[in-house]
A = this chain, B = another copy of it.
Amino acid sequence: MPVSYEPLTPVSFLDRSGAVYGDRPAVVDGRRRFTYRELRDRCLRQAGALAGLGVEPGDRVAVLAANGSLLLEAHYGVAYAGAVLVALNTRLAVAELTAIVDHSGACVLIHGPELADAARAVQAAARSGLRLVSGGEEYETLLAASPPRHEAVTDERALLALNYTSGTTGTPKGVMYHHRGAYLQSLAMVSHFGLNGDARYLWTLPMFHCNGWCFTWAVTAAGGTHVCVPRPDPALVWPLIAAEGVTHFCAAPTVLLALVSQATGAVAEPPRHIVVAVGGAPPTPRLLEDCAARGLEVTHLYGLTETFGPLAICDWRSEWNQLPAAEQARLRSRQGVGNVIACTTRVVTADGEDVPADGVTVGEIAVRGNNVMLGYFNDPEATAAAIPDGWLRTGDLAVVYPDGYLEIRDRKKDVIISGGENISSVEVEAVLARHPQVLESAVVALPDPKWGERPVAWVTLRQPGAVSAEELREHVRGALAGYKVPDRIYFGELPKTSTGKIQKFVLRQRANQGCGAQGGWPQS
């Protein structure tokens, strides 16, 4: 390769930090602490261990683990082995995990020791040949016995990771991340959030969500410290914030709401300044106020799994600090502008024309650029549907204000976002349809003060009264993650267009108006 060219890969950030911040803290994970030299050594040995297990360049390696050094190390070790990381959502049911493992063709599943039962169930259900590696003692023994390995990245557009999303169709889709995109998105996160060598980043956001919005790599690029927490439990988070001097964290509004409403102990201290990135839904004015009172400076983000996480950022302008609080909250709840490396973010009509920047005309957010996925893994049809004309359609409907900031007004896709997790209404409907008594069904989002949205279902039974709402919920629970089970199930006929299409907007209106009230639907 010419002297002036090196393939861009986020793994190079660990190479640099391992070399130049060797004795500085890289990871805090419970009682364990690793310097950057140690972290890099562990990741190189993880690569060696994977190679020892027969993993070859291009193979997929799945990881089922809570936030911690094990999963963080996989963000480098798997790439050092030349393989492709598949970070699994720990909240999924065994059937869902198995579908992803099979679809990705993963040959190894690394799992946290506390998730051994789920991992073994997946192994039993998946096609043969899946090797398990347990975190904890087994993993440490393996690392100690394995030589360091470092496969060079020769193609910066090669596959780095698969991130599965339920999306709109219900079939899991493997979003293909490339090295170049992850590298650039990481630099964008460093820039926008001012990460530097003194950053103490708390892992409240699951690393399995878009690889932690690329902060798995960005924090390392800046030479900051990854402070791990297995779950964003306020009882764990606040003491860590105090003890570790946390400077940054990311969260869905639901998580942030729980944190500020269950602030204990350490929070009684004078507020420190913490930079918080919030995505998945707009933060409410009340939440913003509560955060400000605790020294949390909230920046609102917007993105998709398909865009390496944060695509747009509600970049705060200091002149807005002079505005009334209500106006500030309104401005801060907007999704904002494309991040510094997001080449082009548009809002377009059905014909692909840009909408006027009038804050009124609604269009669909369409993007292209280096932080867009390569496509869906082994799914050219879904890829073509998402990218009809060289622009990724996000399915989110938005307006653009005269200052260039966009705000989402509605969602085109049948996706319900609950606590920052995507739920495909189609997927839930498909499970409901498998029940012998269900004739047809429709699942829509119900606004929820805690979770943002929750799924509710309208079901037409073959024999009215033959099955109860609770029995149907149990049926869904057997196939899907618990958070996907509809909170409520209503029975009756579904409103349809003259051509027979279910009018989901009518159901959404009913849901908003208290359900069951209109049309005499019996409430579950």
If over half of A's interface residues share one DSSP class (helix, strand or loop), that class is named, otherwise mixed; here it is loop
Q: Does A66 contact B (CB under 8 A)?
A: no
A117 to B52, CA, bound (A): 72
A62-97 interface code vs B (CB 8 A; 1 in, 0 out): 000000000000000000000000000000000000
Known: A4-B178, A317-B197. A22 touches B404 (CB 8 A): yes
Residues of B contacting A21 in the complex (Cβ-Cβ under 8 angstroms): 404
Interface residues of A in 381-422 (CB under 8 A from B): 387, 390-392, 403-405
Q: Does A258 contact B (CB under 8 A)?
A: no
Residues of B contacting A2 in the complex (Cβ-Cβ under 8 angstroms): 374
Q: Does A350 contact B (CB under 8 A)?
A: no
Residues of B contacting A16 in the complex (Cβ-Cβ under 8 angstroms): 337-338, 340
A147-176 interface code vs B (CB 8 A; 1 in, 0 out): 000000000010000000000000000000
Contact between chains at A22 and B403 (CB < 8 Å): yes
Residues of B contacting A223 in the complex (Cβ-Cβ under 8 angstroms): 315
Residues of B contacting A178 in the complex (Cβ-Cβ under 8 angstroms): 4
Segment among A276-284, A365-373, A444-452, A495-503 that sits at the interface with chain B: A365-373
Residues of B contacting A195 in the complex (Cβ-Cβ under 8 angstroms): 191
Interface residues of A in 1-58 (CB under 8 A from B): 1-6, 8, 12-13, 16, 19-24
Contact between chains at B3 and A187 (CB < 8 Å): no
Assembly stoichiometry (copies): 2
A264 to B344, CA, bound (A): 46
A275-317 interface code vs B (CB 8 A; 1 in, 0 out): 0000000000000000000000000000000000000000101
Contact between chains at B337 and A20 (CB < 8 Å): yes
Residue of B nearest to A338 (CB): B16
Contact between chains at A390 and B3 (CB < 8 Å): yes
Q: Does A363 contact B (CB under 8 A)?
A: no
Q: Does A271 contact B (CB under 8 A)?
A: no
Q: Does A198 contact B (CB under 8 A)?
A: yes
Partner of A344, one of B6, B23, B318, B405: B6
A195 to B190, CA, bound (A): 11
Q: Does A343 contact B (CB under 8 A)?
A: yes
Residue of B nearest to A23 (CB): B403
Partner of A197, one of B5, B315, B341, B373: B315
A24 to B12, CA, bound (A): 35
Residue of B nearest to A22 (CB): B404
Binding site for B on A (CB under 8 A): 1-6, 8, 12-13, 16, 19-24, 157, 178, 180-181, 187, 190-191, 194-198, 221-223, 315, 317-318, 337-338, 340-341, 343-344, 368-370, 372-375, 387, 390-392, 403-405
> Could you list 5 examples of A-B contacts with CB < 8 Å?
A3-B392, A6-B368, A187-B340, A190-B340, A194-B194
